[in-house]
Amino acid sequence: MKNYGSKRRCILLIDHQSYWRELSRQALQSGGFCVRTLATYNQAPLQACLKGENPDLVVLGCTRIGDEEQRLIEQVLDRKQHLVVLSASLSLQIMRSLFLLGVDDIEDKPYDAKHLVKIVDQVLASIAPRNSYQTVERASVR
Amino acid sequence: MNRKGRILIVDDQEHWRKALVEILERGGFHTDSASSTSEALECLQKYLYHLLVLDIRLVDIAGNKEGMGLLGELERRGLSEATKVIMLSAYGTQEYMRTSFTEYNVMDFLSKDDFDNEEFLREVRKIFSEKVKINLALDIHWPQASRPEQIVLTLNVDGTSVHHDSPLRSQVVVELEDLFCRLFRQAKSVLVRPSTAGWSGTGVLRALPFYPTGGGGYEVIVKFGDFHKIEEEYRNFTEYVQPFLGGERNTTIIAMRRTPHLAGIMYSLLGTTNDQVVDFGEFYHHADIFQIKEALDRLFWHTCKAWYASRGQLELVDLTADYQRLFSYPLETIKHVLSDQQNIAVRDDQKLSFKSLPGNRAFTDPLPMIDGLSVVYPTYCCITHGDFNHHNLLVDSDGNMWLVDFQGTGPGHILRDVASLDSAVRFQLLTAEEATLEERLRMEEALLDNIQRFSQVDQLMNKFSTTNRALAKAHATVIHLRTVARKLVEANPDDDISEYYIALLYNALNTLRFSSLSSIQREHALLCASLLADRLGLGSQ
């Protein structure tokens, strides 16, 4: 069950780099979100967070999409979680492969804090349960 | 089956169009191509496509991004869910890609720079199997008596009725087949049985799918029609029906799919006995009155129990506004219908007479009475189906009932559904041949004879007798429905039956619009409306 009912949407923010992690956390918190942070890609804490916090959205910040990041992205998407990726060094090919995997949105690093909040808002709005055929259809082709 | 996946290629460069057509046709697809936005929109308007292969730059000018504009136009026209899109361009940027995926839900974004024929074909096939989700090999067995060409004649699409000669007809026939291929994508074949026309230009069919692995499945109901109407029904179902479902028997939505103009909902009737489900009209004509009463009790006290249990507090309800909103008919339409009735004479002094009734008796013309009428009563509101009639109620061999067609479902007067069924029994299930207008008049007068309070409904049985069995059956059914109505509002200390008469009056007037009914059935409805107007004292207001 997703956490749709709570007043504050819960974001799980994963980023190795403490500077970006803190910047994003502050931006999202001031945007009204409840933010949990994770500094590691390790399986155990990640799975514990995904299961325990049941976040509405996962935000992954990284410098590049390497094997580790790719694995983490697949793990998050396997759990039917929604995911935004923030990365430097994004090529069109990488972006395409991420979108085809099912990532909800992708943004180039560096990014503006306000822009991050806007992206998160848009993704959450598009995944909110609505009794519309369009939402159901979009979810089904994801 | 000879159906092919249909693809439209939109590219301004001829060599790319030719190459893509060749690759895709070799791969077994039907392809058309367009070199500009206007050509593409013309094709999309005329034909059905499952997939669009779309270039970004459609005019050879630096910075041109007409393809992106076309994506927006597809979204505005509501085509984007039925027609998937692959972007294919030599001018892709991060921003175009991001916009394409996040705002327009494209299936892929390919570059012409590293284009590979085989990879492209693989990608298209993958999109057809995983995203378009269609079984083009589905074997559809349409009923002999009503082929798709006939079935679509009940439809109203984009505000236009589908007629024999309209160009829309062939297009909608293709889309109806395509819709079934989407709805039954896991089936090998499907046996379609006719059902009924739905609410305002939609259709209902029964379908029995057969699967390659396990033989026959369960029969389902397919409601189809203009996308906007089906979407409204879907919304009503999720908002007003689904939360109130419970127990072993209920209607559920298995799937909803769409084509460019149409959409279809596949309903399953959970808990039916041996899948032997008939509509209430068929059941009514074969069942005896005890079976009918039992089925009606199950309908109101079991199937719809949760709706009535969730009624609000006693409140002042503007019944005229409620029913005018439900039926949404202008008075002029009814006046026009009335003027076409050859057997009815309208006199200058706001009186009607019926040629088939002896004695040239004059009746109150109800139409001027309801013009500007506002009637407010203390009563209850709850969720109602909104269109209880013999087609929308299904009965199994044990007399259990299911509902379909939720386009009019929503909050309203608590007696809305029972009054609607009461009217359907008298004006529709009592067929033209079964009773004369004079007999009908006698029944209507007996039903209203000195009955001013719900607590007097018990007296109704003794006020009318007839040797006409069909009329006696209709009368007994209607009395039972009025006892149901009484129970639904028994907590109301007011006990005034006028609120039910108002509901019946509007239902009777609405019946005048049903062109499929015979003259005598419509005259019956008008007579009833006239007597109700008198009973309610509308002429003296």
pLDDT, tens only, B77-128: 877 778 999 999 888 888 899 999 998 889 999 999 889 999 999 999 999 9
Dist CA B183 CA B264 (whole Å): 8
Give residue-wise pLDDT tens across range B220-278: 889 999 999 999 999 999 999 988 876 567 788 889 999 999 999 999 887 776 567 88
- Stretch B429-446: mean pLDDT, rounded? 96
Chain B residue numbers with beta carbons less than 8 Å from the beta carbon of A82 are none
Among the listed residues B305, B310, B284, B306, the one whose alpha carbon sits nearest the alpha carbon of residue B295: B284
Does residue B63 surpass a pLDDT of 70?
Answer: no
Q: What tokens were used for B303? A: 């199937």
pLDDT at A141: 45
Same domain, B125 and B145: no
Name the closest residue on chain B to residue A136, using Cα atoms.
B256
The set of long-range contacts for B361-365, using a CB threshold of 8 Å and a minimum separation of 24, is: B363/B527, B363/B530, B363/B531, B364/B530, B364/B533, B364/B534, B364/B539, B365/B530
Task: Tell me whether residues B81 and A138 touch, CB distance under 8 A.
Answer: yes
Q: What tokens were used for A3? A: 């956490």
**How many angstroms separate the CA of residue A118 from the nearest CA in chain B?**
13
In this prediction the pTM is 0.82
Decide if A4 is inside a domain: no
Decide if A1 is inside a domain: no
Number of domains chain B is built from: 3
CATH number of the structural domain spanning residue A70? 3.40.50.2300
B231 touches chain A (CB under 8 A): yes
Among the listed residues B76, B261, B247, the one whose alpha carbon sits nearest the alpha carbon of residue B159: B261
Name the closest residue on chain B to residue A122, using Cα atoms.
B102
- Stretch B11-19: mean pLDDT, rounded? 93
Give residue-wise pLDDT tens across range B503-523: 999 999 999 888 788 989 999
- Stretch A20-28: mean pLDDT, rounded? 92
Decide if B307 is inside a domain: no
Same domain, B111 and B175: no
Partner-chain residue, chosen from B97, B231, B239, that has the shortest CB–CB distance to A96? B97
Does residue A134 surpass a pLDDT of 70?
Answer: no
Dist CA B109 CA B278 (whole Å): 49
- Are residues A12 and A36 in contact, defined by beta-carbon separation less than 8 angstroms? yes
- Are residues B107 and B131 in contact, defined by beta-carbon separation less than 8 angstroms? yes
Say which amino acid occupies B419: A
Which of B211, B241, B270 is where one domain is finished? Answer: B270
Q: Tokens 């009777």 correspond to what residue?
A: B508
Dist CA A111 CA A124 (whole Å): 19
Q: Which residues contact A48 (CB under 8 A, 6 or more apart)?
A: none
Decide if B390 is inside a domain: no
**How many angstroms separate the CA of residue B231 from the nearest CA in chain A?**
6
Same domain, B76 and B117: yes
Decide if B291 is inside a domain: no
Same domain, B229 and B322: no
Contact pairs from chain A to chain B, CB under 8 Å = 53
pLDDT at B62: 67
| A128 confidence band (pLDDT: 50, 70, 90) | low
Does residue A6 surpass a pLDDT of 90?
Answer: no
Decide if B308 is inside a domain: no
Tell me the pairing of strands B351-354 and B344-346.
antiparallel
B256 touches chain A (CB under 8 A): yes
Task: Tell me whether residues A133 and B256 touch, CB distance under 8 A.
Answer: yes
User: A45: domain range?
Assistant: 10-141
Decide if B385 is inside a domain: no
Least confident of A48-52, A55-59, B109-113, B482-486: A48-52
Decide if A89 is inside a domain: yes
Dist CA B63 CA B93 (whole Å): 11
CATH number of the structural domain spanning residue B60? 3.40.50.2300
Residue B123, classified by CB atoms within 10 Å of its CB into exposed (0-12), middle (13-18) or buried (19+), is middle
pLDDT at B275: 61
| B370 confidence band (pLDDT: 50, 70, 90) | confident
- Are residues B351 and B364 in contact, defined by beta-carbon separation less than 8 angstroms? yes
Dist CA A116 CA A112 (whole Å): 6
Decide if A121 is inside a domain: yes
Partner-chain residue, chosen from A92, A100, A136, that has the shortest CB–CB distance to B256? A136
Same domain, B511 and B433: yes
Which DSSP letter does residue B496 get?
B
Q: What tokens were used for B237? A: 């179902």
Task: Tell me whether residues B239 and A131 touch, CB distance under 8 A.
Answer: yes
More confident residue, B247 or B281: B281
Same domain, B143 and B98: no
- What is the pLDDT of chain B when averaged over all its residues? 89
Does residue A1 surpass a pLDDT of 50?
Answer: no
Decide if B401 is inside a domain: no
B94 touches chain A (CB under 8 A): yes
Which of B215, B236, B270 is where one domain is finished? Answer: B270
Decide if B219 is inside a domain: yes
* Chain B interface mutation, best of A91, A99, A108, A135, highest count of B Cβ atoms under 10 Å: A99
Least confident of A61-75, B151-165, B341-355: B341-355
How far, in whole angstroms, is CA B372 from its chain's centroid? 29
Dist CA A76 CA A103 (whole Å): 10
Decide if A116 is inside a domain: yes
Same domain, B54 and B182: no
Same domain, B349 and B247: no
Q: What tokens were used for B15? A: 């060599």
Dist CA B387 CA B404 (whole Å): 10
Least confident of A58-72, A127-141, B207-221, B258-272: A127-141
Q: Tokens 């956490």 correspond to what residue?
A: A3
Does residue A138 surpass a pLDDT of 60?
Answer: no
Does residue B346 surpass a pLDDT of 90?
Answer: no
Q: What tokens were used for A98? A: 């991420």
Tell me the pairing of strands A105-108 and B6-10.
unpaired
Dist CA B516 CA B508 (whole Å): 15
Task: Tell me whether residues A132 and B231 touch, CB distance under 8 A.
Answer: yes
CA angle (B50 as vertex; B124, B257 as ends), nearest 5: 120
User: B18: domain range?
Assistant: 6-132
**Greatest Cα-to-Cα distance within chain A, rounded to the nearest angstrom:** 42
A92 touches chain B (CB under 8 A): yes
Same domain, B260 and B124: no
Decide if B288 is inside a domain: no
Does residue A14 surpass a pLDDT of 70?
Answer: yes
The number of beta carbons lying within 10 Å of the beta carbon of residue B480 is 21
Residues belonging to chain A: 142
Number of domains chain A is built from: 1
Same domain, B367 and B489: yes
CA angle (B337 as vertex; B334, B339 as ends), nearest 5: 110
Does residue B196 surpass a pLDDT of 70?
Answer: no
- As for the ipTM of the complex, it is 0.84
Which of B98, B132, B166 is where one domain is finished? Answer: B132
B107 touches chain A (CB under 8 A): yes
A125 touches chain B (CB under 8 A): no
Same domain, B66 and B144: no
- Are residues B412 and B322 in contact, defined by beta-carbon separation less than 8 angstroms? yes
Same domain, B90 and B155: no
B123 touches chain A (CB under 8 A): no
Sheet holding B344-346, edge to edge: B344-346, B351-354, B363-364
Least confident of A130-139, B127-136, B203-212, B357-366: A130-139
